[in-house]
Structure formats: structure tokens, C-alpha cells
Amino acid sequence: MKKIVIGDIVSRAWDLAVKHWPIFVLLTLVNSMLGGTMYSVDKETLMDAANSGDPSAIMEAYGQAISFNPILGTLGFLLAIYISYIGINMYVNAYRLGKPYEAMGQIFKIDINQFAIYFAVNFVYSIIVCVGCFLCVLPGIWIGVRLMYAPLLAASQNASFGEAFSRSWEMTKGNFWDLLLLGLVAIGIGILGFVACCVGYIFAAVVMEFMLVVSFFALMPAEPEPNVIGEGTTDYVEVQ
């Protein structure tokens, strides 16, 4: 059974983020903007409520001021899923090949069937985790950790729907506590990003995505782990 070394995962993820940050920061910003198209906000209503100083009025104002835009929201959601799909493959390429893509035009080409599987895996994964958290929080955390690689498997490893979940379950077997601690470290990095005037969170998000990818390949069975921090490196190192 393979194990991860958290310090090594974070160090490699940081190095990769520093090397490739421009393209991935841009990708994160685009995805954030697409998420913002799902809702419209009446800023005047919020400002009036904030000036009142009444907590109940503020909460009521949030409910009235924020509304879902069905057309733009649906388009924004689908585009966000599409961006996340190609983003996962770019993160994997940056780790394995030393660069996010071979040619710019290639990154936008996707396998429609595999994208549909990725969409379904993401949807089911989110539902399972939400139900688990709703029931008692801890089951949601446990299931979320055990199945955390399912979307990545569907997007970058051509895994089928069932295979994505079964392979993630097998890969995380015996590593729950290490992966949970890695997740807590990722949360801490995200908080530090927010502290840095919130702007730092964009870079922190890139580091967290690389942490997921690096840990994934560290736990992947029968898969040599490439040391490709430098572009063009093809040497392999043994996984401890």
C-alpha cells in the first residue's frame, strides 16, 4: 500500500504553482467569473440593509437582493464545468509533462462522452458528500475523502462512471487520515490566501489543485511518478 508524505506533496505543489502560475491563475479567475454569472445582486438593497445595522434586516436583504438568473446561470454553470474539465487535464499535463499543454488549440478539444461521464461523476460526488454531511457531517467527510479522486479519474484517466468511484475508493484505502490532514493543510493555505487581501487566494487555489494532482499520482498503483518540475524532464523517481 502506497503512502503519501504531506510535506513532500505541499513542496512539489508549491514548486509547480510557482512555475506555471500565470495560466492557472487566469483559469481560476475565468471560472470564478463564470460562477458569478449564475446570480444577480441588487447592491443598493444590500447597502441599505447594511446601513440599518439590523442583523435580521441584513439577512432578509440578502434573500431579496440575490436572485438566480436561469439562462445566464445555466450557461455559466456549463461553461464552468467545461473549464474545470480542461483545467484538470492541464494540471495533470503540467505535472507529468512539465507544461500544461502541447499546443494552445488542443486544450479546448474534449471527448464529449468522457466529459459527460465527468459531469455525472461530479454531480453524484457532490450529492453523496452533501447527504453524508447532512446526516452527521463525519460520514460526509469520510466519503468525500475516499472518493476525492473520482472527478480527476473521470477527466484525465478515461475512467468510466463506476470505475472512477471504485478506483478512488481503492487508492485512498488506508490513507484516510493522511488525506484528511492534507485537506486541512489545503484549507489553511486557502485561509492564508484570503488573509493576503483575498487576492492571494487565487494563487492558493492553484497550489491546492496541484496538491490534489501530486497526491493522486503518488497513490496511483503501478504508475511511476515523474519528477518534472523542470520543463522537459523525463527522469523518474521511486515512490516511497
pLDDT tens digits, 59-86: 665 555 565 566 766 787 888 899 999 9
Backbone angles phi, psi at 236, to 5 degrees: -120, 150
Query: What pLDDT shows up at residue 163?
Result: 96
Residue 154: pLDDT above 70? yes
Q: What is the pLDDT of residue 157?
A: 93
What is the C-alpha separation between 78 and 75, in angstroms, rounded? 5
Specify the pLDDT at position 126.
92
Q: Give the mean pLDDT of the chain.
A: 82
- For residues 109 and 196, the model is more confident at 109
Q: Which long-range contacts (CB under 8 A, 24 or more apart) does 227-236 make?
A: 228/95, 228/96, 228/97, 228/98, 229/12, 229/15, 229/16, 229/19, 229/98, 230/98, 231/19, 231/98, 231/99, 232/98, 233/98
Q: Which residue has the higher pLDDT, 11 or 38?
A: 11
Confidence (pLDDT) at 232:
43
Q: pLDDT for 166-216, tens place per residue? A: 999 999 999 999 999 999 999 999 898 888 776 788 899 999 999 999 999
Distance CA 2, CA 175 (A): 8
Alpha-carbon span 232 to 146, nearest angstrom: 33
Q: Which of 91-105, 145-159, 186-200 has the highest mean pLDDT?
A: 145-159
Looking at residue 15, its pLDDT comes to 96
Q: Is the pLDDT of residue 40 over 60?
A: no
Task: Outline where the chain has alpha helix (H).
Answer: 6-36, 43-52, 55-65, 70-96, 112-136, 138-146, 150-156, 161-171, 176-195, 200-219
Q: Which of 102, 215, 107 is nearest to 155 (CA)?
A: 107
Backbone angles phi, psi at 125, to 5 degrees: -60, -45
196-214 residues labelled b (16+ CB within 10 A) or e (exposed): eeeeebbbbbbbbbbbbbb
Indicate the domain borders of the chain.
Answer: 6-222
